[in-house]
Amino acid sequence: MATLDVTVYAPGKVPARELSLYFVAHDLEPDIRKALADAGVRTIALMAAMGADEDKALDNLKVVVGAWPTVALDGIILGCKLKAIHVECKATQKVQTEEQIKTMEDPEKVPGIKEPDWNQMVATFKGNHPEILWNDSIEPNRTFVEIIRRGRLKHGKILNYNLNQVWVRADGIVGKEQQLSKTLDDLLKVTSSFKTVAVPDANSVLYRIRGFLYALEMLGVMNLAKDTGFKYLKDLDNFARR
């Protein structure tokens, strides 16, 4: 099954990437995706606001979609898909709202990335990019991804990091130290403790740059395929071969 939304939307009416991932996950037909996007349902929040429950949401979504399948079974399947997307969007919206409230109160209270969530992030990335030869030298370290995430929440932007602060899984900065990372201050202490990670050669530099860009996509900050990330990496590889 495809993992990227390749639907051709009208200019200016492309749904948010988070919502399009739900479209793909539930194999929603391209014409239904376009109908929703054309009508303005292009974000998680708007899909979640379609109704207090899935039945009310389906009634509203039928109006938005317009033409409904004439074959009864097709209509039932489409209804189930839209209900499922609505339920997941409401759950996502709730989590995002709770996290935003925590961030407004104190960015340091935002919880770290739990093991199941991290495994899902890695699996999703690998599924989206089967062409990437995944290994410990380029997989971003979970602690480092937490640092990027919390730094962005606190400062509203991606901060600058030295190469020896860009950790990959091969650096082995996991385990007990990571369990101490409850707040941003804790993470900064960990960063300071391990800021002298060795970057011995050009390959290590390239691996860390790759790991950093991969981390940004895993966090939803960028899309390597759409944001010229792969072109940048290709240029780096060509430069390294000189």
pLDDT digits (tens, 9 = 90+) for 112-163: 787 888 888 888 888 888 888 888 888 999 888 888 888 777 777 788 888 7
The alpha carbon of residue 124 and the mean position of all alpha carbons in its chain are separated, in whole angstroms, by 8
**Looking at the predicted structure, is the pLDDT value of residue 107 above 80?**
no
Q: Is residue 144 a contact partner of residue 181, using CB atoms and an 8 Å limit?
A: no
- pLDDT at residue number 12: 85
Residue 64 to residue 40: CA distance in whole angstroms: 9
Indicate the pLDDT class of residue 227, thresholds 50, 70 and 90: low
Least confident window among 3-12, 30-39, 78-87, 196-205 = 196-205
The token duo for 43 is 């974000």
Per the model's pLDDT, the better-predicted residue between 22 and 233 turns out to be: 22
SS3 assignment, position 145 = helix
The one-letter code for the residue type at 7 is T
Q: Is residue 209 a contact partner of residue 239, using CB atoms and an 8 Å limit?
A: no
- pLDDT at residue number 200: 67
- pLDDT at residue number 181: 45
- pLDDT at residue number 173: 53
Whether residue 91 is found in the same domain as residue 191:
no
Whether residue 101 is found in the same domain as residue 219:
no
Least confident window among 42-46, 129-133, 178-182, 222-226 = 178-182
Across 32-46, 109-123, 181-195, the highest mean pLDDT is recorded for 32-46
The token duo for 58 is 């389906």
Where do we find the tokens 């033409």?
67
Answer yes or no: is 11 within a domain: no
> Would the CA dihedral through 27, 29, 32, 34 be positive or negative?
positive
Whether residue 175 is found in the same domain as residue 200:
yes
Q: What is the mean pLDDT of residues 35-46?
A: 91
Answer yes or no: is 66 within a domain: yes
Answer yes or no: is 87 within a domain: yes
What b-and-e string marks burial along 98-125, b requiring 16 or more CB atoms within 10 Å of the CB?
Answer: eeeeeeeeebbebebbeeeeeeebbeeb
Whether residue 83 is found in the same domain as residue 182:
no
- pLDDT at residue number 186: 56
Which domain covers residue 41, as residue numbers?
Answer: 17-105
- pLDDT at residue number 174: 43
Whether residue 79 is found in the same domain as residue 137:
no
Total domain count for the chain? 2
Per the model's pLDDT, the better-predicted residue between 228 and 139 turns out to be: 139
Q: Percentages helix, strand, coil for the chain, rounded to the nearest 5?
A: 60, 0, 35
Of the residues 80, 105, 130, which one is the last residue of a structural domain? 105
Per the model's pLDDT, the better-predicted residue between 195 and 158 turns out to be: 158
Whether residue 88 is found in the same domain as residue 134:
no
The greatest distance separating any two alpha carbons of the chain, rounded to the nearest whole angstrom, comes to 65
